Amino acid sequence: MGFRMGIVGLPNVGKSTLFNALTRTAAAQAANFPFCTIEPNVGEVAVPDQRLETLAGIAASKQVIPTRITFVDIAGLVKGASKGEGLGNQFLANIRETDAIAHVLRCFEDGDITHVEGRVDPVADAEVIETELMIADMESIERRLANLARKLKGGDKEAAAQEGLLKRALAALEEGRPARTVEVAEDDRKAWSMLQLLTAKPVLYVCNVAESDAASGNALTEKVREMAAAQGAGHVVISARIEEEISQLDAEEAEMFLSEMGLEEAGLDRLIRAGYTLLGLQTYFTVGPKEARAWTIRKGTLVPQAAGVIHGDFEKGFIRAETIAYDDYVAGKGEAGAREAGKLRVEGKTYEVKDGDVLHFLFNG
């Protein structure tokens, strides 16, 4: 599985510029006025991972297939969106379909680009959007609680469990806290995610800075860092302008350009890595002469479920998995060398897949 990240933010903070750069397209019209993104633009990009290239080189794989991340560029939000202001209702519906929110904040001064609130204050911008999402969640919860009343009278156990979760979320929201601050027991996680609360989604703050601040950030990004740390959220500093320029270059030119800017890697790489950390994701690989492929799973995934990411039959008929750690595969110069060195392990149904594992599944099909 890959994951879907919604790119949100107030109008004119650089959302569409960043989206265009990340997806190497100009699908989202980047213009200096609010609501230039009317429909949510969706773009898929390969997740960069040098390990996959290394494995493919060792195995002489004909095809290299990276795992992918989907970015959804969502229409700019303004104060009052929860009441339908601007493109509010559409904005809120589009967020529900994402796994995480990349919240782009303007951390640059530019007199030529209008700020919808007439000031540059990323923390205040973050609060505007968070407030709108919290209001929308409160209204949604109140509607759902009213709809559950009849089922509760009939002694419906599932409705009672749902009511308990909704009331806990509402209590947090009434205290001014987003739903993601509510601690949910492992047994309730599935039911909790089914509530599709907007403020339950993990948030990654993306500080959009001027080119000169891309390497070290600035006073505004420091404020965002402090806010993110206090919330247990992620944050990353990116110059959307630089990403846009890189997107037009080939690999060699991009490397030279990054070096000149004092950057070790493209913002896309940092953004994806921060997203993976935020969602607790990791990668495993399948490698052979036909193809080398990366697969995304959640940390803590057991090997049968990891097999199921490839195909449901792999999970149903799972017998065992031949497993080689990435470093051992590289040191052994492939499967045969790793096997000879005693580094190939046979793992059963209770094995928890590790990041970088090279797996070969055996199953009844």
Annotated binding site for ATP: 12-17
Q: How far apart are CA 353 and CA 349, in angstroms?
A: 10
> Do 254 and 24 form a contact (C-beta atoms < 8 A)?
no
Sequence ranges of the binding site: 12-17
Q: What is the spatial distance between Cα 360 and Cα 2, in angstroms, rounded to a whole number?
A: 20
- The DSSP secondary structure of 296-353, one letter per residue, reads EEETT-BHHHHHHHH-HHHHHTEEEEEEE-HHHHHHTTSHHHHHHTT--EEE-TTPBP
SS (H, E, C) 175-190: CCCCHHHCCCCHHHHH
3-8 β-sheet, strand order? 41-46, 68-73, 3-8, 100-106, 203-208, 234-238
Q: Where are the alpha helices (DSSP H) in 74-202?
A: 88-96, 122-153, 157-174, 189-194
> How far, in Å, CA of 17 to CA of 113, rounded?
13
Amino acid identity at 123? V
8-state DSSP, 215: T
The SS3 assignment for 347 reads strand
Encoded tokens for 24: 């190497």
Structural contact between residues 73 and 37, judged by C-beta atoms closer than 8 angstroms: yes
Which two three-digit tokens encode residue 125?
A: 């911008």
- Quick one: CA dihedral 136, 141, 144, 145, positive or negative? negative
